[in-house]
Amino acid sequence: MTSPQIASLSWGRMKVQDCATAYKDCKVWPGGSRPWDWRETGTDHYPGVQAADVEEIVNKGVRTLVIGCGMSEALQVPSATLDYLRNKGVDVKVLQTQVAVREYNALAGGGARVGGVFHSTC
């Protein structure tokens, strides 16, 4: 199963290949995607992305996780989350969202078992 490409990105809007839904923030993994609703885990820009935000994707068997931390990089990624990912054997890349989407698409296009969480504003 391959990871879907991010088909388009603009401020506050993302489209995932073969998905009719547009997302503000999204999670993607081999074979799927869904909205990333920060209210599920109490996430906010600070302290940022929590292990609970990425656990679902890790459980899909990804080898690499790309985190898009916003267009202006306002979303933080605490060391506890990075430690969680490394302890699970997942390589993590934290990048500005436009750069993160390019990196994710390159990895997905190359057949990597890659997942991502992307914040499309601030």
Count of residues for the chain? 122
Three-class SS of residue 51? Answer: helix
Domain ranges of the chain: 6-119
The fourth-level CATH superfamily of domain 6-119 is: MTH938-like (3.40.1230.10)
For the segment 31-83, what is each residue's pLDDT rounded down to a tens digit? 999 999 999 999 999 999 999 999 999 999 999 999 999 999 999 999 999 99
What strands, in cross-sheet order, belong to the sheet with 32-35?
A: 32-35, 25-29, 114-119, 64-69, 91-95
Identify which of 60, 81, 55, 73 has the alpha carbon closest to the alpha carbon of residue 2: 60
- Identify the pLDDT of residue 1: 84
